[in-house]
Amino acid sequence: MFKLKLFILLIFIFSTSFVENKYSRNQIDNLIASTDEQLHSNKINDVLKNSDIILKSSESIGYDRGILYGNLYLGMAAYMNDNKPKLIEYGFLTESLARQENDSYALAYSLLIKSKIYKSAELYDEALKYVNLALEACDDIKIKDRQHFVRGKCMVYKTICLYYFGATNKKLLELNLQAMKELEKAGKPFNYDYNYVNIATTYENLNKPDSAEYYYHKSLACSVGPAAKGLIYLNLAALAYDSGKLDDALNYNNKSLNILLDSNVNGFYLISGNYELFMNIYKKLGIPEKVKENEKLFIYHQKKDADKDSFFKKKLLIKLIDKAEKEQNEFEKKARKKTTGYISIIIIFVVVLTGLIFIYIKESKKNKHNQEIIKNKRQKLLELNNKVNDAFAEVLELAKKDDPAFITRFKEVYLPFYTQLTSQYPTLNIGQIRFCCLLYLNFSTKEIAHYHHMTIKGVQTKKTRLRKQLNIASDVDLNKWMMELL
């Protein structure tokens, strides 16, 4: 009688589980296919909605492919919305999942996401490395239209990375045109938008405004998101301004600003550019009250942008996030394997030994506990990001104001660096230590001179003396040397 009750309980638990899971593996695969089309059509809201369903449904039944694509699409949506926190959250997760599933298509996209993360942190060597790895992964994609499409996307982004390495406009244009050919082979015309923008920008740098304007308008004819559309109209406004067409510049700039404000995209850097351009236009038009009004708005959004994005420019934080995400990936992988193993044992031996139901219940509870631990780790990581961001912003503001409290607060936030510097070089005086702290925060020569009321030559002299005292070669970047002292 007791065994019969256990058997009935087991059947009830499994039947309840299947009722709660509304999506089977086949249904999840179908949803992945439709979400892929939405991604390629830039329907970001639909992608976000479906990604959440794919991820939750796949996690509830332990479907690894669904877990991979749920995270991948969330990462790609963050990529297209320029949502850096979400980009980091999913960027380091999807690469290991794609390699585990041996999925070249997902791997190429995940490597492209990682390239975007490092580019956002101004680590251009790493950004170029990962976009090249993404291009290599494209060679193993079996479906040809997907291969051409992802390769085209990667080549578009590679031109952006190469721009920071001083590639010639001719080289950038050549690579953009190659990317266009790949996208044409894929038969996805609605995804030419960013490629058109890159081509337009390159023509603008080559002093060919007519060609630039032509490609900006071609990009607007594609299915572009609000951030891209806002950028394109801003570029058209700047192009019109440089050509002396002030009425057109005002019109385009108004369109750009309205789109960005209405859509609430992650584009403060664009909005500050809108107000700066308004300021310059009204200067030429001779309307001082409008100049003053837009100058205030420009300063406000420029500061908002600096406060928002400053911590992404710190190599230390990227390393911290990288380490935390790798630990989280390993934890999730072990928990998933252990849970899947126990479920398989229960299914195989349930008829022979119904007593294994107790193990199943125990492991289910354990899995729930593991999920809570994972959730807590994610929350702690988010809190850590916010704390580092706030502390950096505070130290940065004290440095800019040349506040006497700067060195005290810097020591509290960056104690390991401060201790290493002073113990390794005990002969440094307080002024030299303060100067080293500014270099560690990645202040340029021009910024140090501006905020600390010095001449650029004076700053350069201090750098030369510091090199001699610390025995640093003249070809070594001082800022980088300080950041890598630990």
CATH number, domain of 482, equals 3.40.50.2300
pLDDT computed for residue 124 by the predictor: 84
Position 413 in a domain = yes
pLDDT computed for residue 1 by the predictor: 54
pLDDT computed for residue 227 by the predictor: 73
Supply the pTM of this predicted model: 0.54
Query: For residue 407, what are the domain limits?
Result: 401-486
Position 315 in a domain = no
pLDDT computed for residue 312 by the predictor: 44
Number of domains in the chain: 1
Position 238 in a domain = no
Position 449 in a domain = yes
Which segments in the chain show pLDDT lower than 70? Answer: 1-22, 82, 188-194, 223-224, 264-270, 304-329, 331-336, 338-344, 347-356, 358-389
pLDDT computed for residue 436 by the predictor: 95
Position 467 in a domain = yes
pLDDT computed for residue 443 by the predictor: 93
Position 431 in a domain = yes
Position 133 in a domain = no
Position 408 in a domain = yes
* HEC sequence for the chain: CHHHHHHHHHHHHHHHHHHHCCCCHHHHHHHHHHHHHHHHCCCHHHHHHHHHHHHHHHHHHCCHHHHHHHHHHHHHHHHHHCCHHHHHHHHHHHHHHHHHHCCHHHHHHHHHHHHHHHHHCCCHHHHHHHHHHHHHHHCCCCCHHHHHHHHHHHHHHHHHHHHCCCCCHHHHHHHHHHHHHHHHHHCCHHHCHHHHHHHHHHHHHCCCHHHHHHHHHHHHCCCCCHHHHHHHHHHHHHHHHHCCCHHHHHHHHHHHHHHHHHHCCCCHHHHHHHHHHHHHHHHHHCCHHHHHHHHHHHHHHHHHHHHHHHHHHCHHHHHHHHHHHHHHHHHHHHHHHHHHHHHHHHHHHCCCCHHHHHHHHHHHHHHHHHHHHHHHHHHHHHHHHHHHHHHHHHHHHHHHCCCCCHHHHHHHHCHHHHHHHHHHCCCCCHHHHHHHHHHHCCCCHHHHHHHCCCCHHHHHHHHHHHHHHHCCCCCCCHHHHHHCCC
